[in-house]
Structure 1
Amino acid sequence: MNLALIASVAGIMALTLNPRSEDNNIQLVPLGDIVAALESPVDETVLLAAAANVLLFLPFGAALNMRGLSLPKTALLGFALTVCVEGAQLLFVSGRTTSVDDLLLNTLGAVLGHALLWGWVPG
């Protein structure tokens, strides 16, 4: 169970803290990119990125469930880990976007990962 948690955090870090060649951006409007993509669905990239954010945190939420944490604690830790990732992207990693949407979607992913294991994990 510790290995699952370590692996999920390592995967999150590996996928989110690698530099890119673009400029850093900050997106502070909740669901702004998603709403814009839904209004003119020419570019599916935003919706795929949103789905990827949710999927990225599913293993983290599942691992916290396996460790016996409650759903509210999982949500809080998913949010806290995302704050750390977004802060690191803003301050130390070039070419990344720091986004309010990531806070919402990653937390949702952790919650869904936790919920998917209800009834499957003893205790």
Structure 2
Amino acid sequence: MLLNYVKEGFSFFIKSVPIAFIIFMFITCLKWIIKRKLEFKPITMFCEFAWILNVYAILRITGIIGMDFRVTEVLNGHIHYSIKPFEDGLSAAMVLNLLLFAPFGFFTPIVFKKMQSKWLFNLIIAVLFSGSIEFLQIFSGRYAQIDDILMNTLGSLLGYALYVLSLKLKSQFKPQKSSIHNN
């Protein structure tokens, strides 16, 4: 079952590449129009594309993109939610939520440079993004759970921790300037 979810999620990512690329190109053109110059930094551009791809895939996988929003669900009191954390224990879906949001936490500080050393802002963005997804699911009759918000946020923090670790590893492997003194 877990393997089927992973295959399905990977399929969503693959199918999302063309649309994410179009969004990336649109944003890149907007930045060029605003700044009047285009900086070609392949690694930064790849990270921006990866972030857009991840966000788009998250919105597709969670059903936000393509969802049939019905206000009548809420007005008629058909709200399905759970605010009890881990009521059913740890499930495969929870682990997948963690894995789905790890790239979000990794790429967010790369894309938004002012957030690189501010883990609290990354936490807030993860909670707001995940909470928004769960809130919007209420309007489709889907089940909103605090577990999803917790695991998505934890996944994002895991991604941010991997980002910080990658910076430390990068700084360790930077060539040191030699200070040879000629006597």
TM-score, normalised on structure 2?
0.53
User: What is the distance in 2 between the residues matched to 1:28 and 1:59?
Assistant: 26
Aligned equivalent of 2:108: 64
Alignment of 1:74-113 (within 5 A): 74-91=122-139, 93-94=140-141, 96-113=142-159
Aligned equivalent of 1:38: none
User: What is the distance in 2 between the residues matched to 1:51 and 1:110?
Assistant: 12
Secondary structure, counterpart of 2:166 in structure 1: coil
What residue identity is the alignment partner of 1:77? Answer: I
Q: Answer with 108-117 or 60-69: which moved more.
A: 60-69
What residue identity is the alignment partner of 1:32? Answer: E
Alignment of 1:34-53 (within 5 A): 34=89, 47-53=91-97
Q: Percent identity of the aligned residues?
A: 27
| Larger relative contact order (Cα-Cα within 8 Å, sequence gap ≥ 6) | 1
Report runs of 4+ in structure 1 exceeding 3 Å deviation.
none
User: What is the distance in 1 between the residues matched to 2:106 and 2:165?
Assistant: 12
The answer to whether residue 7 in structure 2 is matched with residue 7 in structure 1 is no
CA shift at 1:4, angstroms?
2.0
Secondary structure, counterpart of 2:85 in structure 1: coil
Deviation digits for residues 68-109 of structure 1 (CA, Å, limit 9, x no counterpart): 322111111110001110111111x34x22001111111000
The answer to whether residue 88 in structure 2 is matched with residue 33 in structure 1 is yes
Structure 2: stretches of 5+ with no match in the other structure: 1-46, 68-77, 172-183
- Larger-gyration structure (1/2): 2
User: What is the distance in 2 between the residues matched to 1:54 and 1:105?
Assistant: 5
Secondary structure, counterpart of 1:33 in structure 2: coil
